[in-house]
Amino acid sequence: MNKKIKNVVLDHSDAIVKMWLEEFDSNKENDYTATISDEMFESTNREFVNVIFSSIENQGLSTDLDDFSERLINLGWPLSYLTDGMQVFRRVITDYILKQSDKVDTDYFSEILREVDGWVDPIINRLINEYSGSWEHIVSLQRVALQELSAPLIPVMENITIMPLIGTIDTERAKLIMENLLDGVIKHNAEVVLIDITGVPVVDTMVAHHIIQAAEAVRLIGSRCILVGIRPEIAQTIVNLGIDLGKFPTKSSLRKGFETALELTNRRIEETQNNDEDIEKLIDSLDGE
């Protein structure tokens, strides 16, 4: 019986493909085809339906399916294209088999449904797995990339190091900040470390707590910490929260913090003499003659 249904489908594959293409084509107003040319859409449809039939014929998932889905993922086709396609296929093929059959009772009907589901569902599952697998892969790569960016330490000059923090600080990142900070202070032999929080959107008690701990740890290994980049609204919320940041110096901007760091290491910024002015004077005096 099952064989019979399968044979009906395989023998009339051309007709089914035609129906599927027509039905699916009428779906074309869906957003996902907006940026895809008609030619491309048609050839992909043809390939898609061939892949479906080959997996029905071989009674299992073929490597064609993997290749096909992999290529679509790389090209950035939406998953909804494939799931829509499979749903249309299920509808078309059920209709077609029922039309070909002489007698239709409930048993026969449910058997056909089960048979069709047995072809269609594994393909859908495989496609969804392929897609979500590729997304998970991307997310994990991005997480690694983000972690590399999360607590950078820049040795700007001898004995002075800067750690610019941008974005939200969570527990994991706070740990990383602490580790990088202490490692970096030892490695670069820093006397002063500037922690810049200009890019931290919210400073709540947890963030403040971690910063205080980091500063305290830096003090223990014999260096000094200056907290810079405190925006006015952050200063107000810190006061409201009642957080005591009095144990280490704080500055509004990196520039001011850097000047303080230079002072602490017995240095200062000195402007070099402006030579342009002298040349201009010389030219002026020449013109006068």
Partner 1 sequence: MDFQSCVNIKKEWDIVGARQLGRDIARKIGFGTVDQARIATAISELARNIYLYAGTGKVCFEALEEIDHKGIAIVAIDNGPGIQEISQVMEDGFSTSGGLGAGLPGVKRLMDEFNIHSEEGKGTEIRVVKWLR
Q: How far is 212 from 245, CA to CA, in rounded Å?
A: 7
Would you count residue 203 as binding partner 1 (CB under 8 A)? yes
142/205 with CB nearer partner 1: 205
The only residue of 121, 136, 183, 204 in contact with partner 1, by rule CB under 8 A: 204
The only residue of 104, 138, 206, 283 in contact with partner 1, by rule CB under 8 A: 206
Rounded least distance, CB 205 to partner 1, Å: 5
Q: What is the DSSP string of 261-274?
A: HHHHTT----PPP-
The only residue of 26, 171, 275, 285 in contact with partner 1, by rule CB under 8 A: 171
The only residue of 43, 205, 247, 279 in contact with partner 1, by rule CB under 8 A: 205
Range 218-237, binding partner 1 (CB under 8 A)? 232-234, 236-237
Would you count residue 242 as binding partner 1 (CB under 8 A)? yes
Q: What is the DSSP string of 187-219?
A: HTT-SEEEEEEEE-S---HHHHHHHHHHHHHHH
Would you count residue 246 as binding partner 1 (CB under 8 A)? no
Contact 186, 221 (CB under 8 A): yes
Q: How far is 119 from 198, CA to CA, in rounded Å?
A: 57
Of 51-59, 72-80, 201-209, 260-268, the window that binds partner 1 (rule: CB under 8 A) is: 201-209
Q: Among residues 236, 211, 5, which one has the least CA distance to residue 104?
A: 5
Other beta carbons less than 10 A from residue 37's beta carbon: 9
The only residue of 26, 74, 106, 240 in contact with partner 1, by rule CB under 8 A: 240
